[in-house]
Amino acid sequence: MRVLLLGANGFVGRHVAERLLADPAVQLTALGRSDDADVRFDLSSGSPGALARFMDAVHPGVVVNCAGATRGGARELTRHNTIAVASVCEAMRRSATSARLVQVGCAAEYGPSPAGSSTAEDAVPRPGGPYGVSKLAGTELVLGSGLDAVVLRIFTPVGPGTSTASPIGRLAEAMRRAMQTGDGDLKLTGLGVQRDFVDVRDVARAVHAASLSAAQGLVNIGTGRAVPLREVAAALANAAGYTGALHEVEDPHLTANGSGHPHYPDGCGVWQQADIRTARDRLGWRPRIALEESLADVWMEAACRV
């Protein structure tokens, strides 16, 4: 099976590449903006015609799109998460390959959910910020493209390679600095948020499964369990051997426009939890890696950082 992987150098893309390369039946070609990609190509500015000609040359059976941006202004997010997806869809329509498309979406497309609820694929999306809006637009382009396509809506990925700009990455960095300085009191903000944390290696397994399946439409990828960030902080402290006190303090930036309602950067409110029955039924996929193992790996990387 020939697979063309877009965005192989991102957080999710690196693990997807590793998973696909471990399958002896897969011939992988990576396309991206970095020098170590097999082919350098910027999806947000390259023409669909050029991409279609490349697809005709490689002749993939599956195209996996992990490319995109998680940070930046609305214009940059739209360019990388919406326009780039439009280019991929158009290139695939022009190509003679008839490849299957596996698009990596995100839970920010759903927006906030009622506390205690599990979000299924038929939920009406109400993204609460530019990132979710840009990703939702990309998803709608894929679903309306007429291609053989599936969109995996990934909830909150965690594990090796977690960015220091993410909430868990920031927690690990704060803990590392506290241990270096001998600070026995660590002040943390935003710990009331609850997210469905799924290991990025389990996400890669889901992408692999989707590549081999006939599933179309939307499929949630999560664990089906929301975990408070304060529990994540405690688990990180345990993994690190940090014996100091964790103090939760109020963050004034989490109150939007003086309304009194918390606003989080991902636009997902206080609670998100996935309904993952579709992934089980249509992909034969279940999460395998416990959150404690994911956090231990995050801490190992943070502890080795100079």
Using CA atoms, how far residue 120 sits from 22, 103, 204, 228, 261, in Å, is 31, 18, 21, 20, 25
Q: Residue holding tokens 């206080």?
A: 270
Nearest-5° angle of CA 206, CA 113, CA 117?
75
What's the confidence (pLDDT) of residue 261? 47
What's the confidence (pLDDT) of residue 40? 86
Threshold 0.85, pTM exceeds: yes
Residues of the chain below pLDDT 70: 252-263, 306
What's the confidence (pLDDT) of residue 203? 98
What's the rounded Cα separation, in Å, for the pair 2 and 94?
18
Q: Residue holding tokens 């040359």?
A: 57
Q: What is the DSSP string of the chain?
A: -EEEEESTTSHHHHHHHHHHHT-TT-EEEEEESSTTSSEE--TTTS-HHHHHHHHHHH--SEEEE----SSS-HHHHHIIIIIHHHHHHHHHHHSSS--EEEEEEEGGGT----TT--B-TTSPP---SHHHHHHHHHHHHHHTS-SSEEEEEE-EEESTT--TTSHHHHHHHHHHHHHHHT-SEEEE--TT-EE-EEEHHHHHHHHHHHHHS---EEEEES-S--EEHHHHHHHHHHHHT--SEEEE---GGGB-TTSSSB--TTS--SB--B--HHIIIII-----S-HHHHHHHHHHHHHH--
What's the confidence (pLDDT) of residue 305? 82
